[in-house]
Amino acid sequence: MSHSTYNKQWQEAQSSLMDLLQQEIPEQPSKPEKDRLAAFQLLATMYIKYIQIFRKMEQCYDQIVHPQKRRVLRHVLDGTMGRILELKHEMVNLEFSEYHYFDDVLSDLKLTPNDVEIPIPKFFINERYDVLKEREKLLGKILAKIGPQEKEDQKEELKMSLEDAIKMIQVHERARQGRLRAKFMKEIREQEERDRLAQTRGAPTLDPDVAACRIQKVWKGFAQRRRTKKERDEEMIFIGMAPPPLPTSIKNTPQALALKTEATRRITQGNHENEYQQALGTIKEKIKETEGPDIKETMMDQIRQWFIECRDAQGKFPEYPDEDDGGSALIFKEKSPEELEAELNDKDGDKKKKDKKGKKDKKDKKKDKKGKKDKKGKKGKGGDDEEEEEGWKMAESSFVPSINEGTDKYKSVWMTRDEKDNFSQKHDAELIKEEKRKEVEEEIRIQVDELMRAELKNLKAAVDRDKGKKGKGKKSGKKKKKKGKKSGKKGKKKKKEKDLTPDRTIESLYEELVKEGIIVRCPQIRLSEFEGEYSYLGTTLRQANIEPMPSLSDVRRLVTEFGILPLGSQAVHEQAPLTKSILLAGPRGTGKKMLVQAVCNEVGANMFDLTAANIAGKYPGKDGLKMLIHLVFKVGRELQPSVIYIGDCERMFKKKIPKTDPTDPKRLKKELPKAMKGVKSDDRLLLVGTSRCPFDGEMKPLCSLYQRIILIPRPDYASRHLLWRRLILKNNGVITNTLDVSSLSKVTDGYTPGHMLTAITQVLTERRIQTLSKKPLQSVEFIAPLARIDPIYKEEEEAFKGWYAKTPLGKKRAKAAQADDDDGGGGKGGKGGKGKKGKKKGGKKKKK
């Protein structure tokens, strides 16, 4: 697409963002919403609209080549991304569930599920491409050193005795000779049969005209059947009942050409960015040379004029503003000399008053706290009537101001800017001049301030020496304050944790962790490969008081929101609600480890494998364990973003572990939670645990370590239908009319994507792929390998549901649902006293 197309798309996104900001920042404060469903509808609508804006903005940022436009876009893009995460956390706190269903909102807004799919920004990888490439090279070198040792171990395992080797060779040689002998005998028999038939038949006696008619008849029938089949296939492809044929050459497809165009635009982005960086330095130097002396003279003249005005108005020279207060920048504000002098004189008096007020406020706060405690005690006895009347109100956003700032910049600079002459979309020199002129003025102002302070000092000394002494006294007092600040900073440094490896470089620590197998190389898996269909009945089931099982599409969305988006952007991670850890719980084969690897690949993160089996025998003892945790978190912080992975994490919190288990899964039980408490918003670290049997571990410590719990279900019918088609095509299979995917999806209820993949790999061998043109695939072929695998039964799924209901969020949701039922029951009880009694009974039950 062209430059103008992306500019129009950016304009559309900004206009819809301006409409949303009017909702976000109303003129009058909105009243609290008492209805929980209405509040959720409001949040869901805003959430979907922000996702639509985010999709457009992300595409524009990826393809717009103008460097100055991209800076404005990035500012707004980070704000929009953060706002989506804030709204998601608001919905979680409101509904007490990680999963939310928007099918009713989508139908109202006339949107499809694909329109609200959250894209993963490409700049997560593109902007760190060189760093990631160097890290991959380093990892490859380290693994190359370790590699031969692993191969030797494999050779030792595959060794066999000389007698067994001779026997195997003899068996294969005899089989080869037998096959050749059978082949020769078959050819001899066929030749004898042909000779015998030739003797009995004799010469052909068929009339040539009849023979020609027969040939025509057969050929016409064959040609017509082929034509009819072709037309039927084209019709089925047109109405979407059959997949389009695979292209002969992938290079000439429209998709491939579009990807090629996007890649060329990214190259031009880099070239324009380099030119822009060079222009920043050259334009600044030009402004210094041409405009610098004039700016300096005008500033000095203005300050001297200010000296004279103050002298005439007050009969004395003014105090020169300090550097901390802004220096001569205060003088250039539109104020009279009396106002400036009054402000400077009042500062010392205000500081003394503030100190006195601070002491009084502390005493008042203590009294207020005691009063509040008494009130809370009364409320606990009498019920939560006041809180219920308040209702739900949206929390203040930390991203809306930054979005607003970006939109204001867009309005003032880019909305009405004429760019007819800038066809190649290179940097705008005039905008750079405006920015750099301010920087040059600031630098010159500091130099001028030094000169004018000396000049003012000389003037004061000439006019009144006593005032000069007072000025010196003030300066000495300020220096003492600065010393106090420095001493405070030193006190903070002592609180930091001890560095167990102060003399070692990060490269050496990284190499050690790779050699020990703690840092693992992830296979190239993307989140888009975790496929699943959207849940279309979620809201309908919830309205009928039935808790729906989430679909694989919902799981993918949650991993994006809690894992990928915060880790990818530092600006978002610092201000968004902090998610330190995620637990992926689900049956075997649902793709838990695949999701962890996808998170690492999408963000370009290091993967630290702290699974019990992986760290068994490494860093023994208490000191060794402390060193391991220290190394992981130190390297993780230095080379962030980083993902710490723990497989079968419920074993860490099991009550009883068999004595025969050599892995010691409880080893990290105390040290890991302590280390996770030290993770702050500046640290892009994420702990991800996976579990097949989360109900085997203790609930309280497991839920305290893992902040967010994502339950991965077995796939529903729609997801299975999609998975069968995609996995067969991915493994070089061909889907034809003979393969009944619908029946296959129905029969394989309870099987996970992992089970499907094993069945497909067993069926689609190299020899079977070669015979697909003659013998197409049939659904019966997949039944035999699936029959050998145990499916996920409903009992196991119910066990996961029951466990999730016991989690803190599950309990809160159950309480909220019970409260809604009690309120509904109270309303039905009739008007007057009966309705009130119903409510009081509900309140008593809750207290118990």
Q: Could you give the 3-state DSSP secondary structure of residue 474?
A: helix
Using alpha carbons only, give the angle 225, 228, 233 rounded to the nearest 5 degrees: 125
At 184 the pLDDT is: 94
At 564 the pLDDT is: 92
Which residues, 6 or more positions from 17, have their beta carbon under 8 angstroms from its beta carbon? 53, 76, 80, 403, 407
Reference 670, options 637, 706, 700, 625; nearest CA is 625
At 378 the pLDDT is: 42
| Mean of pLDDT values over 82-93 | 91
At 327 the pLDDT is: 75
Give pLDDT tens digits for 196-213: 888 887 656 678 888 899
Give pLDDT tens digits for 736-752: 878 888 999 999 998 99
At 664 the pLDDT is: 82
More confident residue, 587 or 374: 587
Q: Could you give the 3-state DSSP secondary structure of residue 533?
A: coil
722 near 553, Cβ under 8 Å? no
At 22 the pLDDT is: 87
Asked if the model's pLDDT at residue 5 lies above 60, the reply is yes
Q: Could you give the 3-state DSSP secondary structure of residue 608?
A: strand
CA distances (Å), origin 506, targets 513, 550, 662: 11, 42, 31
**Side chain identity at 311, as an amino acid letter?**
R
Asked if the model's pLDDT at residue 335 lies above 60, the reply is no
Which residues, 6 or more positions from 736, have their beta carbon under 8 angstroms from its beta carbon? 776, 777
Give pLDDT tens digits for 346-360: 555 554 454 555 544
| Mean of pLDDT values over 823-836 | 42
Asked if the model's pLDDT at residue 478 lies above 50, the reply is no
Global pTM? 0.78
At 235 the pLDDT is: 93
Window from 28-37, 124-133, 183-192, 395-404 with minimum mean pLDDT:
28-37
- Percentage of the residues of the chain whose pLDDT score is greater than 70: 82
769 near 733, Cβ under 8 Å? yes
Is the link from the previous residue into 641 a cis peptide, with omega within 30 of 0? yes
CA distances (Å), origin 624, targets 520, 620, 685: 20, 5, 22
Window from 138-142, 309-313, 443-447, 550-554 with minimum mean pLDDT:
309-313
More confident residue, 313 or 782: 782
Window from 131-145, 201-215, 240-254 with minimum mean pLDDT:
240-254
CA 702 to chain centroid, in Å, comes to 23
At 310 the pLDDT is: 83
Give pLDDT tens digits for 88-113: 999 998 888 888 888 888 888 898 88
Give pLDDT tens digits for 644-693: 999 888 888 888 887 777 788 888 888 888 888 888 888 899 999 999 98
| Mean of pLDDT values over 829-837 | 38
Give pLDDT tens digits for 612-641: 888 888 888 888 888 899 999 999 988 889
More confident residue, 801 or 469: 801
| Token output for 47 | 């959430």
Give pLDDT tens digits for 565-620: 999 888 899 888 889 999 999 998 898 999 999 999 999 999 999 998 888 888 88
- Crossing angle of helices 429-463 and 465-494, rounded to 10°: 130
Q: Could you give the 3-state DSSP secondary structure of residue 581?
A: strand
CA Rg value for the chain: 37
Asked if the model's pLDDT at residue 379 lies above 90, the reply is no
pLDDT bin (cut points 50, 70, 90) of residue 762 is very high
| Mean of pLDDT values over 315-338 | 71
At 177 the pLDDT is: 95
Window from 209-223, 376-390, 398-412 with minimum mean pLDDT:
376-390
At 333 the pLDDT is: 63
| Token output for 182 | 């059978």
Give pLDDT tens digits for 140-163: 888 888 765 544 344 445 578 889
Asked if the model's pLDDT at residue 182 lies above 90, the reply is yes
At 255 the pLDDT is: 81
At 54 the pLDDT is: 93
Average pLDDT, the chain: 81
* CA–CA dist 209, 675 (Å, integer): 94
At 646 the pLDDT is: 92
Give pLDDT tens digits for 438-456: 888 888 888 888 888 888 8
pLDDT bin (cut points 50, 70, 90) of residue 485 is very low
**Segment (H or E) for 583:** strand 581-585
**Side chain identity at 779, as an amino acid letter?**
S
* CA–CA dist 784, 386 (Å, integer): 64
pLDDT bin (cut points 50, 70, 90) of residue 842 is very low
Hey, which residues does 582 pair with through a beta bridge? 688, 708
Hey, which residues does 584 pair with through a beta bridge? 690, 710
Using alpha carbons only, give the angle 804, 805, 808 rounded to the nearest 5 degrees: 85
| Mean of pLDDT values over 716-743 | 88
3-state secondary structure 42-70: HHHHHHHHHHHHHHHHHHHHHHCCCHHHH
Name the pairing type of β-strands 642-646 and 606-609: parallel
pLDDT bin (cut points 50, 70, 90) of residue 87 is very high
Give pLDDT tens digits for 489-529: 444 444 556 777 888 888 889 988 998 888 988 888 899 99
pLDDT bin (cut points 50, 70, 90) of residue 548 is confident
Using alpha carbons only, give the angle 208, 214, 216 rounded to the nearest 5 degrees: 105
At 663 the pLDDT is: 81
Q: Which of 22-26, 473-477, 552-556, 842-846 has the highest mean pLDDT?
A: 552-556
| Mean of pLDDT values over 402-429 | 86
Burial readout 800-812 (b: 16 or more C-beta within 10 A, e: otherwise): beebbeebebbee
At 831 the pLDDT is: 36
pLDDT bin (cut points 50, 70, 90) of residue 375 is very low
| Mean of pLDDT values over 480-493 | 41
| Token output for 378 | 């009364």
Window from 211-225, 305-319, 365-379, 508-522 with minimum mean pLDDT:
365-379
At 249 the pLDDT is: 56
Asked if the model's pLDDT at residue 380 lies above 70, the reply is no
At 819 the pLDDT is: 77
